[in-house]
Structure 1
Amino acid sequence: MTDKKSKLASGSIIILLGSIILRLGGFIYRFILSRLLTTTGYGIVGLTLPFQNIFIIGASGGVPPAIAKYVSEYKAVDDKKMVHQIIITGLKLMIFMALLAAVIMFLISEPIAIGIWHKPEALLPLRLVALIIPFSIIVGALRGVFQGFYQMTYIFYSKFIEQIFTLIFAIILVLIGWYAAGAVLGTAIGFLMALLGSYYLFKTDMKKNYLNGNYEPITFKEELGLILKIFKFSIPVVISGVAEIFLYDTGTFFIGMFLPTLFAGFYTNASAIARIPLIISNSISTSVLPATSEASSLKNRELLKLYIHQSYRYTTLTTLPVSAFIMVFAAPIMSILFGKEYVPGASALWILVTGMFFFSIYLIGSSMCQGLGKPQKPMYALIIGAIVNMVLSFILIPRYGIAGAAFATTISTCLLMIITMYDLTKITSIHAPYLDMIKMFIASFVMIGMMYVVPQNILGMIIGGIIGSILYLAIVVFTKAIKRDDVVFIEHIANKTGPLKKYLDPVVRFIYNYTD
């Protein structure tokens, strides 16, 4: 396997491992709070999440990626003064926007909690979201600096600190009687500690070892020009980010409007489980962007075709069986992870996980479009999907409850997947490997049929998961839905399994010998 052919797989696996660790921390948080709070209390926490997400994305304005871009550019030419100035201007901008967003959140909390939702118990938690926003936005700026210096481990450390302290303080505050408000306040403390930890890393590394000189301040006019430069880069990023939040969280907002609070808790946990396949697709999409950009700049059509086909096959190969497993065992998964009280969330989970598979394919197409210099294409698709989701949620949730919210999201993600795949084909004149993907779909349907036969309990999940996975992989291999070049992806996964590697190596060799 050549370096270029294995680049996509190796990069994806590295990112995947970090994502799994962080996602695991998120599940521990939900697992514990689901048991410490009542379903109604946890539902209140769920209702605050869309506002946390949208204000963090909206107020940061895509500035962290801009900081990363310009820090890395100026550092590449060793222009320390401009590296320093980008960081200072970026932080000033983020602090101003953070405070503005916090004030707006505080002001709208009462009209939303009382006027729209008619849920006074949600008022204090919503107001506490205003406390989360400043810390989270400023720590986002420092993570942008880390990215610009290629210190990806520092980003991981920062997020790990955030998760650990959020979990600790949320549990303590809930136990001493702060209820749902304690969980939200715990998140604020988690971000505060992440901010302190991130600043310490910045000061002891970048500041001490690189930005250790005295730099003349620039004029107000020059700094204004720099702000406009940052904003110009940020606008497409923030539009896409806000549209993505609308796509994810519109259902939660309308559930708060039309349904009792506890249904927001059901849907919040169902949404978290449904997004598990996105761990895989996010890792692949992150790696495919620079790979696609490289192939495009080299004007190497064969290499571009290889990356496009590999991306679609990797994503479909891995996310389909995961989605199928979650779909079939939705009820026992909800019960095991969050308690029997959350089993009603299964009615949304089995639908929503289908939508997240569609979104996984969209993410791949979106990254490839960005790598080819066409970021507006997936942005437009995402905006269309967000609007469709809002309209459908308003119509379907009053009639079908949380299942209606899941249907609205699934239909919307299917639409934006189709639009983005069409756009990518039009840009590159390269079609997705439809025949291989159809074979994988057939294998997943067989897997689903087999898993429906076993009991819907823990033992059934284990037996069904093992036999179903073997059956799925056998069909994919024997129908030649994967190619020899794709086996490197499976090989990289096997290499990271520790003591299981010696048992998986014969399987990898068998697949490799059987493929073309």
Structure 2
Amino acid sequence: MNLLKKNIRKELFSYSWPLIFLGISSSIMPQIDSFTIGYFKGTLDVGIYNAAIPIAWLIAFFPSLFTRLFFPLVTKEFSKKNLGVVKELSKQVIKWILIVNLPFFLLMMLFPGVFINILFGSEYLGAENSLRFLAIAYLFSSITVIFYNLISMIGKSKLILTNIVAISLLNLILNIFLVPIYGISGAAFATMISQIILSLIFFFQTKYYVSIVPLKRKMWGILFSIIPPTILLIYLKKFIAINLLTLFLQGSLFILFYLFLIFITSSLDKNDIMILETIKKKIIT
């Protein structure tokens, strides 16, 4: 009995200690850009760059909320060895992350200056390109969170820590090369490349260790549904001056057109209706 308890404690410690350093390394990663910008360019550029980070982070907000809602259910099904259910649930979660994030991502790509000007003022407009690069980084990050949780679910905390430390070092190296030449845009580009590579690493590790590829064919319908509203928005952008009101009106038209296409392309199925009902119950209770 004592030997069993000792083995359990050993397993818990082996799983938990990397998570402590994982939390530290995750908090250091966003600071790498600011550190290198401050070292090579100065505090003024750090301030301008830091205006783009919280705006781009909005893309990561919904995925974190969604995983908190549904990953307890995924973990429960995994403990029952229901890998088919785990696979389907993971696909649905990624699908909904894409449905929600794509319109906000494209609005940031098309109107970065408007977001920055409204929230921080015109003196921070130098971060427009940085916001575009960071928006791409956070879009990949929003999908990576699913792969991260699936790998964490099977106890591979050391592997996750290794991934993040390695990518943090890559981000630092890229910053050292790019920031002196391209300034804050170089820092954002370094973060984008690092995040894309991290996403690919987690994707292939999820496929290898969990035998799950949480992607669905119907996701193509989502991607195709976003194209016509984007073309319309680019066209309107040429003729309409952008301010808070016109951004709201164009953004609303963009999202409504997008949702209409989501429905008529049958991109939603019965599992999506179940997810909507689950969210509704969570909100009510």
TM-score (norm 2): 0.85
Read off the aligned partner of 1:457 and give its amino acid letter: N
Is the 2:91–2:216 Cα contact (8 Å) retained in structure 1?
no
Q: Name the structure 2 match of 1:352.
A: 134
Q: Counterparts of 1:235 and 1:496 in 2: how far apart (Å)? A: 33
Of 247, 257, 260, the residue aligned with 1:461 is: 247
2:263 corresponds to: 477
Match of 1:327 in 2: 109
Q: Give the alignment of 1:56-75 within 5 angstroms.
A: none
- Larger Rg: 1 or 2? 1
SS state at 1:275 partner? helix
* CA gap 1:447/1:260 in 2 versus in 1, 3 angstroms: farther
Of residues 47, 50, 53, the one that matches 1:268 is 50
User: Equivalent residues in 2 for 1:3-18 (5 A)?
Assistant: none
Tell me if 1:362 matches 2:148: no
Q: 1:296 aligns with which of 72, 78, 84?
A: 78
CA deviation string 1:245-289 (max 9, x = no partner): 333221111110111321111111200110001111111223444
Aligned to 1:27: none
Distance, in Å, in 2 between the alignment partners of 1:287 and 1:269 is: 30
Deviation at 1:357, TM superposition (A): 0.8
Distance in 1 (CA, whole Å) between partners of 2:122 and 2:278 is: 37
Give the equivalent residue in structure 2 for 1:450: 232
Question: Residue by residue, what CA displacement relative to the aligned partner does 1:186-216 show, whole Å, maximum 9, x if unpaired?
Answer: xxxxxxxxxxxxxxxxxxxxxxxxxxxxxxx
Pick closer, same or farther for the CA change 1:233–1:313 going to 2, 3 Å: same
Q: For structure 1, which segment, 359-368 or 450-459, has the greater mean C-alpha deviation from structure 2 after superposition?
A: 450-459
Q: Which range is displaced more, 428-437 or 360-369?
A: 428-437
Contact 2:19 2:157 in 1 (8 A): no
Q: Distance between the aligned counterparts of 2:155 and 2:12, measured in 1?
A: 18
Contact 2:151 2:210 in 1 (8 A): no
The equivalent position to 2:168 in structure 1, one of 381, 386, 402, is: 386
- What whole-Å deviation, never above 9, does each CA across 1:320-379 have from its counterpart, x for those lacking one? 222112222210111111111112122211210110011111111111221233333433
Which residue identity lines up with residue 487 of structure 1 in the other structure? I
Secondary structure of the residue that 1:435 maps to in structure 2? Answer: coil
The change in CA–CA distance for 1:236 and 1:415 in structure 2 (over 3 A counts) is same
- Is the contact between residue 36 and residue 179 of structure 2 (CA under 8 Å) also seen in structure 1? yes
Distance 1:296 1:234 in 2: 20
Deviation digits for residues 21-68 of structure 1, max 9, x if unmatched?
Answer: xxxxxxxxxxxxxxxxxxxxxxxxxxxxxxxxxxxxxxxxxxxxxxxx
Distance in 1, Cα, partners of 2:264 & 2:191: 34
Gaps of 5+ in 1: 1-225, 499-516
Structure 1's 441 and 382: CA in aligned 2 closer, same or farther, altered over 3 A? Answer: farther
In structure 2, give the amino acid aligned to 1:463: L
Task: Provide closer, same or farther for how the CA distance between residues 233 and 368 of structure 1 changes in structure 2, counting only shifts above 3 A.
Answer: closer
For residues 30 and 273 of structure 2, what CA distance do their matches in structure 1 show?
A: 33
Match among 207, 214, 218 for residue 436 of structure 1: 218
Q: Distance in 2 between matches of 1:480 and 1:380?
A: 40
**Structure ranking higher on relative contact order (CA contacts 8 Å, 6+ apart):** 2
Match of residue 92 from structure 2:
310
Alignment of 1:404-419 (within 5 A): 404-419=186-201
Q: Structure 2 vs 1, CA of residues 234 and 383 (structure 1 numbering), >3 Å: closer, same or farther?
A: same
3-state SS of 1:432 partner: coil
| Aligned AA (1:458) | L
Change (3 A) 1:245 1:338: same
1:366, 1:323 → 2: CA distance? Answer: 21
Q: Point out where structure 2 has 5 or more consecutive residues left out of the alignment.
A: 1-8
